[in-house]
């Protein structure tokens, strides 16, 4: 019997169900990145001659490289922890994706795949590959367009790879052209080859990728884009298979690829109960620092003063006093309709406040009622936090302040901070739709450089859109914002402001004149990025963790440069400030991302019942209303009919889906 080795690649630190059979060797691809010990029986890919440290770019190719350099066998095969070959004599029923799909990898499905008959199916062939999928079912006209359509990938890279390949190995040119312009795609780098073929294959592949690495620039690519070498290796498998078939001297064949949805060993996760609330992401402090503390508004929420040298302040009749040196100035902007959310935000600041610091919260507004101000005053009279309401109406008179979509006009009030806090050198600004999970003093104490106008976290949503998630954003950035480096675009919901530098460099008149143009998609945030570009210090993203609402992570953030996506994911594990940016809020959708953290604080406020009422009203505006029930019913009827007329896996269903996406 031939010595057959089929390598099953696993991702670092994963614990997956495994096929137990002598033909299969399980490899931890990217072992360099493992934080814990490898599971028993798992082969690392960082022994001998290896490129394990390139796993984030090369994916499963690091396991192929290791096998090429360190293992000896008659046949070399490769599959994945959730994608295996079927060695059954007949075809298994396929799903819409073009391959059979099963929920779990277990003994029953191993029997379905006929694992025990694998050796007998392999030995009559020189080259076996995962069964080709018609690109029409993948909403593409050929293999090239399928690559170009893939999220995060760029057609120029496939062109460069093909150019290098054909220059180094001109005998593959015809096969490359035939495969890339063909209508059949061989997926997932899954194949089984005889030793001689695999040695030739690996030599050409890694030689070509080495030159590609030298010429290409992937520095701003998303996490998926950073995997470009792995994707190119996948296309090379199809090119090489096409060339082998053109020779007509080798025995070739195709095996069905089977996908398993749940592969984690013991996939039902144990529920963890942490009654103490320690160490959980976004968990609020429960120490004696803030328990029993209340806050107060000092008498005279809007403070009037007689001595003012500023002409406009004389016209308006007042200005704000300087915060004592020991107080931390914090500014929020809101209107009467936002008071319940505003109060919840302030409550979170109080809840996490340090016992040895003092805080002065300024609320810029034009319409908050006196009874709401009294509610704030009654709550925190004896605490180290005081609240001052500032009616900014006199300063915005004559300006047309209209924000886009769900953003309210109050967002522009932040432009007044340098003017109204004219005796302060520094201040913190917060959007009202945030929950503070860490002492805001830790943010305020972060140093600003001499040339910095502000400090802010990068905006992974905007940058992800710019980096491929939304082509319109790239055009908007080029034609409207005209930023020198869009990859430094800042999220303005949490800011440390260098008020002295801003007063010297940026006038309020200039900011409000930019508002009048009305062509900025993200309103004041775009304006701040324009006027402060190159002078915004980068904050740890944990200080402004955008909640994943409306599919933000899937449709935008995942396209951000890979290092930025990783920073966002790390920040989510222990956020310092949670920001519910966007139109979908936790007081509308209580099951949303980080919504529990909002409601944990909301329960401490006198507006809890009002917030519940708003949530109920939002629900009634959708499915709860008659129109909503009609829409839901129609949608359900359409789905049921489609399932009957267009059964899964049928050619008619694939054709209809392809036509739908073509029209869309």
Q: By mean pLDDT, which of 167-176, 203-212, 323-332, 569-578 is the weakest?
A: 323-332
Q: By mean pLDDT, which of 184-193, 288-297, 655-664 is the weakest?
A: 288-297
Of residues 300 and 511, the one with the higher pLDDT is 511
> pLDDT digit string (tens) for 38-60?
999 999 999 999 999 999 999 99
- 76 touches 193 (CB < 8 A): yes
590, with CB counted inside 10 A (0-12, 13-18, 19+), is middle
In whole angstroms, give the CA distance from residue 376 to residue 443: 24
| Parallel/antiparallel/unpaired status of strands 494-498 and 426-430 | antiparallel
- 33 touches 55 (CB < 8 A): yes
SS3 60: coil
User: Residue 301: what pLDDT?
Assistant: 36
Q: What is the mean pLDDT of the chain?
A: 86
User: Residue 638: what pLDDT?
Assistant: 61
What are the helix (H) ranges across 71-142?
A: 107-112, 118-122
Q: Record the pTM.
A: 0.77
In whole angstroms, give the CA distance from residue 44 to residue 32: 9
Q: Kindly state the DSSP code that residue 465 receives in the 8-state scheme.
A: I
Structure tokens, 490: 């800042």
Structure tokens, 188: 């997932």
Nearest-CA neighbor of 399 among 516, 506, 507? 516
> pLDDT digit string (tens) for 581-626?
988 899 988 889 999 999 999 999 999 999 998 888 877 766 444 4
CA angle 266, 268, 269 (to 5 degrees): 95
Secondary structure (DSSP) of 395-416 = HHTT-----STT--GGGGGGGG
Residues of the chain with pLDDT > 70, as a percent, come to 82
User: Residue 407: what pLDDT?
Assistant: 56
Q: How confident is the model at residue 297 (pLDDT cuts 50, 70, 90)?
A: very low
Q: How confident is the model at residue 651 (pLDDT cuts 50, 70, 90)?
A: low
> pLDDT digit string (tens) for 107-163?
889 999 999 999 999 999 999 999 999 998 888 999 999 999 998 899 999 999 999
């Amino acid at each position: 019997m031939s010595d057959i080795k089929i390598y099953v690649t696993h991702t670092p630190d994963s614990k997956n169900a495994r096929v137990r059979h002598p033909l299969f060797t399980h490899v931890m691809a990217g072992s360099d990145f493992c934080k814990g010990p490898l599971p028993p029986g798992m082969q690392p890919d960082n022994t001998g001659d290896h490129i394990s440290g390139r796993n984030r770019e090369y994916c499963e190719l690091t396991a192929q490289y290791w096998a090429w350099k360190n293992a000896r066998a008659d046949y070399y095969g490769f599959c994945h922890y959730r994608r295996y070959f079927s060695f059954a004599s007949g075809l298994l029923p396929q799903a819409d994706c073009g391959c059979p799909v099963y929920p779990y990898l277990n003994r029953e499905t191993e029997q379905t795949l006929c694992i025990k008959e694998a050796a007998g199916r392999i030995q009559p062939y020189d080259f076996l590959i995962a069964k080709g999928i018609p690109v029409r079912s993948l909403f593409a006209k050929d293999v090239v367009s399928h690559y170009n359509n893939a999220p995060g990938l760029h057609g120029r890279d496939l062109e460069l790879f093909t150019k290098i390949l054909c220059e180094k190995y001109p005998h593959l040119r015809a096969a490359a052209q035939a495969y890339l312009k063909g209508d059949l795609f061989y997926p997932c780098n899954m194949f089984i080859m005889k030793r001689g073929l695999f040695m030739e294959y690996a030599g050409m592949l890694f030689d070509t990728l080495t030159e590609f690495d030298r010429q290409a620039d992937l520095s701003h690519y998303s996490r998926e884009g950073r995997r470009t070498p792995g994707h190119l290796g996948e296309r090379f498998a199809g090119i090489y298979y096409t060339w082998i078939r053109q020779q007509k001297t080798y025995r070739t064949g195709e095996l069905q690829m089977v996908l398993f949805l749940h592969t984690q060993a013991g996939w039902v996760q144990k529920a963890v109960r942490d009654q103490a609330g320690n160490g959980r992401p976004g968990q609020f402090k429960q120490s004696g620092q803030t328990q029993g503390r209340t806050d107060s508004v000092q008498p005279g929420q809007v403070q009037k003063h007689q001595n003012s040298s500023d002409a406009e302040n004389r016209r308006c009749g007042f200005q704000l006093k300087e915060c004592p040196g020991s107080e931390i100035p914090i500014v929020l902007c809101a209107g009467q309709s936002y008071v319940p959310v505003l109060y919840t935000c302030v409550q979170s600041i109080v809840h996490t406040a340090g016992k040895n610091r003092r805080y002065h919260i300024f609320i810029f507004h034009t319409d908050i009622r006196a009874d709401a101000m009294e509610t704030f005053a009654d709550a925190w009279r004896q605490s180290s936090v005081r609240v001052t309401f500032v009616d900014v109406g006199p300063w915005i008179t004559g300006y047309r302040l209209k924000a886009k979509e769900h953003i309210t006009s109050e967002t522009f009030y932040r432009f007044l901070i340098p003017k109204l806090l004219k005796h302060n050198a520094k201040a913190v600004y917060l959007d009202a739709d945030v929950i503070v999970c860490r002492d805001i003093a830790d943010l305020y104490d972060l140093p600003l450089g001499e040339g910095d106008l502000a400090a802010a976290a990068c905006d992974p949503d905007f940058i992800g859109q710019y980096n491929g998630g939304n082509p319109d954003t790239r055009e908007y950035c080029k034609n409207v914002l005209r930023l020198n480096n869009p990859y430094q675009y800042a999220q303005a919901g949490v800011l440390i402001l260098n008020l002295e530098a801003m007063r010297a460099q940026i006038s309020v008149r200039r900011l409000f004149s930019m508002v009048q143009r009305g062509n900025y998609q993200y309103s004041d945030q775009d304006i701040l990025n324009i006027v402060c570009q190159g002078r915004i210090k980068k904050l740890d993203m944990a200080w402004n963790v955008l909640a994943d609402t409306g599919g933000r992570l899937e449709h935008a953030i995942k396209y951000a440069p890979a290092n930025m996506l990783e920073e966002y994911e790390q920040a989510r594990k222990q956020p310092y400030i949670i920001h519910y940016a966007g139109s979908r809020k936790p007081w509308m959708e209580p099951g949303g991302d980080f919504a529990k953290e909002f409601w944990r604080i909301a329960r401490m406020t006198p507006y809890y019942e009002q917030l519940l009422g708003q949530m109920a009203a939002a629900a009634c505006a959708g499915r709860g209303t008659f129109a909503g029930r009609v829409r839901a019913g129609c949608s359900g009827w359409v789905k049921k009919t489609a399932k009957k007329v267009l059964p899964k896996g049928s050619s008619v269903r694939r054709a209809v889906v392809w036509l739908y996406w073509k029209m869309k």
